[in-house]
Amino acid sequence: MRVDILGITVNTYSMRETVEKIRLSVENQVRTRVVTANPEMIYASNQDQRLRELINSADIITADGIGVVWAARQLGTPVQERVTGIDLVQSLFPIANAQKWRLFFLGGKPGVVEKAIKQVVQKYPEIDLKGHHGYFSLEEENRVLRDILAFQPDVLLVGLGAPRQEYWLAQHPQLATVSIGVGGSFDALAGIVIRAPKRLQEFHLEWLYRLWKEPRRWKRQTVLPRFVIKVLLQGIGRKTP
């Protein structure tokens, strides 16, 4: 089931359902592109038809953040819970470990992705992991593409920032069975960015914690009130016959 939020058709799946879909895609070798859609991305795509079509053409679009969960409820088709990029990645690791999947991490500053790989391999030694930082030139890009293709990942995680990673993944669908845009997840996996304490996450206040820790996000978050207003207007339009 999907809910249309400002033109983006977000899946209503829970985390468990999303993980299960991805597991089946890997098992059955079904190419699957996943977008974790946060309010900024949804708002941007509302203004940009090309981006909107590109996101909507993904096989799975998850509700990345409490703002999207709220919007879905407002619009009458609740999603079960938020499915953020980093939570999805963390939830995939135990299965990837049990099934000995090949994972490729692309993105993050040089040094960061190596650190992320080290942390993950320590905990999940059966995952076959490779990666590359996300600051490659156009000339280097061909080599990066060849590296990924040669590795034949079951799952390719791309953290180049949105929407660049979404364009990049749509442009290179042949690289892996499952591909997921994961934003700044490698920074979190490497321990460069510390996530909000669990209590704050439970109270849906992780966004506030991130604003406090990364004040540069203030500018990006100014989109949130506009997102809220647009969703409320969409809700009114829906109710008016």
Nearer to ligand UDP, 64 or 154 (CB): 64
Q: How far is CA 56 from CA 33, 36, 190, in A?
A: 11, 11, 31
Q: From the list 94, 161, 173, 191, which residue makes contact with ligand UDP (rule: CB under 6 A)? A: 161
User: By CB under 6 A, is residue 109 in contact with ligand UDP?
Assistant: yes
Q: From the list 135, 143, 194, 238, which residue makes contact with ligand UDP (rule: CB under 6 A)? A: 135
User: By CB under 6 A, is residue 76 in contact with ligand UDP?
Assistant: no
Residue (of 148, 44, 40, 118) closest to 85 by Cα position: 40
Q: From the list 7, 39, 131, 183, which residue makes contact with ligand UDP (rule: CB under 6 A)? A: 183
What's the chain's Rg over C-alpha atoms? Answer: 18
Stretch that binds ligand UDP, among 44-52, 73-81, 120-128, 154-162 (CB under 6 A): 154-162
β-strands 8-11, 155-159: how paired?
unpaired
Stretch that binds ligand UDP, among 117-125, 139-147, 158-166, 167-175 (CB under 6 A): 158-166
Which region holds residue 198: left if phi is over 0, alpha if psi is between -120 and 50, else beta?
alpha
User: By CB under 6 A, is residue 186 in contact with ligand UDP?
Assistant: yes
Query: Count of residues for the chain?
Result: 241
**Rounded-to-10 torsion of CA 76, 82, 85, 86:** 170
Residues that bind ligand UDP (CB under 6 A): 107-109, 134-135, 159-162, 183-184, 186-187
